[in-house]
Structure 1
């Protein structure tokens, strides 16, 4: 039997990793896992319960108890917590400005990283493969993945993309309004995760000058090269 195809994609905010990963999973007909959504879901859950995000122990305990269900269809990924669909809620500014406090909690990371490994195994077994994307998937969560990619882009390109996504515009005002969510988030997360330089065996794909279709094709080319044997 052919082993399931596991693809790990890391990258900073605005590099295109979520959009590209979903498109790659759809093209290959396999499952998709957004690991960043898991940190966002936990952040939402803690905020709803009134937990102090600086209380590392309480937040880690919440991670262990998190009633999370995450959809893995790349065409329509969903996130549900305690029976509530939070797919949209976890993308709000309220969550985006608070998630770093959760994502930099090392005890939380240990809990969610193990859950991510378990989910990758389950999704791959069910669909024949998985594209998992996040910030430390290639190095910590799934260093043994068949294909490992670091998707990157210049800061200017990342800010334009995230501004267009959040504000429907990439003019100067929109870019400045988005800067904190992109630059600060990456700076904070880089204290506990490496996602700016490709580790040994990880293929770097720079999307600064690529559109979506070109970015997807670039990653599919890596997949083809890495699985050609």
Structure 2
């Protein structure tokens, strides 16, 4: 059941649900491309901050997004993230970017620009490799609403806060579970209430609660879902049998 992926797996969900780790590992396991759309908004946010623009100034942010020279890789083992040629994979996860990214990503000009670019990247990867796992907050609803498999990851507030705190600590950033909880709740509110492309599950998304699951268990569950949808080479017959 680990044949190559054919098609798009749309993976949405809020912070701390294991989205990035799951998406990368799933893409690697299924021989597919990988796209972290959230990283694109973080790169633009970093460009805004480095230019000294006010993240609340939508006109300035929109202009900066159009001017920003950045690239994002689609190889799950090592997805490069570069701004003006500089590796910014670590910089975009810093507290300043985390604090400002919701405001930047809520700007309609930014979303229009990046969604268009995300769709082009998806089309290019599909043409090259045949399959891609795309993670974000509006993949199943806006970026790739025709995806044959849409998954919405969730987890309890306590688990999400603990995971985010652990990630920050592992990256050398000062953190606590309490601070992480406040950050996660703040981001949830901003992302789910913004006017353009709010965070929400697509109507046909499959909810997967990762609170009590290991990463490997989530990967197995999603691989099985892809198989049942007939998206994996070599398991179409099994998928048909399961869905009868």
1:179 Cα offset (Å): 2.1
1:81 Cα offset (Å): 1.0
Q: Give the Cα separation in 1 of the matches to 2:229 and 2:48.
A: 40
- Kindly report which structure 2 residues correspond to 1:110-149, keeping only aligned pairs within 5 A, or say none: 110-149=112-151
CA contact (8 A) 1:150 1:195 kept: no
Q: Give the Cα separation in 2 of the matches to 1:43 and 1:76.
A: 21
2:166 maps to 164
- Kindly report which structure 2 residues correspond to 1:50-69, keeping only aligned pairs within 5 A, or say none: 50-69=52-71
1:221 maps to 224
1:103 maps to 105
With the length of structure 1 as denominator, give the TM-score of the two structures: 0.92
Q: Secondary structure at the match of 1:98?
A: helix
Against the structure 1 CA distance between its residues 194 and 57, is the aligned structure 2 distance closer, same or farther, given a 3 Å change threshold?
A: closer
Residues 143-201 of structure 1: CA distance to partner in whole angstroms, max 9, x if unpaired?
001211111111111111111111249xxx720121232110111011134445x3222
1:200 maps to 203
With the length of structure 2 as denominator, give the TM-score of the two structures: 0.87
Q: Give the Cα separation in 2 of the matches to 1:3 and 1:20.
A: 15
Is residue 214 of structure 2 the alignment partner of residue 211 of structure 1?
yes
1:73 maps to 75
Q: Give the Cα separation in 1 of the matches to 2:86 and 2:122.
A: 23
Residues 81-117 of structure 1: CA distance to partner in whole angstroms, max 9, x if unpaired?
1111111100111111111110111221111111111
Q: Alignment partner for residue 32 of structure 1, among 28, 31, 34? A: 34
Q: Gaps (5+ residues) in structure 1? A: none
Residues 186-217 of structure 1: CA distance to partner in whole angstroms, max 9, x if unpaired?
11011134445x32221111111101111111
Q: Give the Cα separation in 1 of the matches to 2:50 and 2:199.
A: 30
Q: Any runs of at least 4 consecutive aligned residues in structure 1 with deviations exceeding 3 A, and if so which? A: 193-196
Q: Secondary structure at the match of 2:176?
A: helix
Q: Give the Cα separation in 2 of the matches to 1:130 and 1:10.
A: 14
